[in-house]
Amino acid sequence: MKKIIILLLSFVISVLFTLSTYYKQTQQVLIEESNNLYTPKSVNIETTFSSFVSNIELKSKPYRLFSQVENEQLNIRAFYSNDYSYWNAPIHNGRFFKKNNEFTALVGVDVPTHEIDGIKYFLYNSKKYEVIGYLGKYVPNYFKSSVLLSDNSFFMDGTGQYVLDGEFSKNITDYLTVSNNNNVGVGRFLNLDFFTPLLIIFTHLIIVLATIFLAFIYNLMYRKERSIRYLLGTTHLIYFKERLLFLNFLLFFSVLPVIISAHFIIFDTFDYIIGIILYLLLINLEYFFIFFFDAQKEGLE
């Protein structure tokens, strides 16, 4: 019965964290998809590409740069980034760019492509771009005439207008000519930038309280056994190590099925697994303090 209680509590905590992560990622994707791949932080800038990429202030944080390509039938944009591990475009099939100047393309479902030797290409200005994916994770029809290109040649040497997005500093106006981008996504109407963080914080607060409760209950379950073992000569440190090992055994087997299932809905699995590990470490730390505080209070030293 003791094992079942700990397994259930740990399972509920991991499920809450998984749902919280899924909600956060889904909201972010919906905001970007409804705003043409831009976040509410995006800004319009006017600068030369060479001076932009050499800017020391901008190099310190990940950013992405979009350049609009003139075309009457399609919405074509070129893409450049200083960190491809930070952001992926929402796609429902294929992969995102891995580096700059790949000469590859992400296209919408209605964008005309040409197949050569079993490989699909998007043709533009006598250039071939291998199609590596299709835009739109949840609303692909919104991008049916959109194209995203990995080609630095669209970033002209002279002064040009671009859309900058990412985690750039607030004093960006000190070194760039900036104007606000036209945010037309769901984030603007639903104020998700305000409500989503509050909901995430509230959920994590519940999870933290649940981990404290789990550590407290686990300590309470074995308090009598600890006292008996202490009287029989077992030091509290040795007993703590035994209980901690067993606790982690239970945590691992309760969390493992959730992690395996989450693989199908969480697309940023690295951060998700790191978050799960941190919560498991938090339970260990909480149990450590509760165990030794309780032992000291009982005089088991």
pLDDT at 189 (0 to 100): 46
Q: Which residues pair with 166 in a beta bridge?
A: 63
State the pLDDT at residue 298: 67
Confidence (pLDDT) at 169: 66
pLDDT at 192: 55
pLDDT at 145 (0 to 100): 94
How do the pLDDT tens digits run along the chain, 301 residues long? 778 889 999 999 999 999 999 988 888 888 888 888 998 888 888 888 888 888 777 777 888 999 999 888 999 999 999 888 888 889 988 999 999 999 999 999 999 999 999 999 999 988 999 999 999 988 888 899 999 999 999 987 778 889 998 877 667 766 677 776 556 554 444 555 667 788 889 999 999 999 999 999 999 999 889 888 888 888 888 999 999 999 999 999 999 999 988 888 887 788 899 999 999 999 999 999 999 988 887 664 5
pLDDT of residue 180: 67
Cβ neighbours around 83 below 10 Å, total: 13
Structure tokens at 80: 């450049």
pTM score, whole prediction = 0.76
Closest CA to 105 of 93, 122, 118, 92: 122
Q: What does the pLDDT read at residue 168?
A: 73
At 289 the pLDDT is 94
Do β-strands 119-124 and 114-116 pair in parallel, antiparallel, or remain unpaired? antiparallel
Helix (H) or strand (E) holding 178: strand 177-180
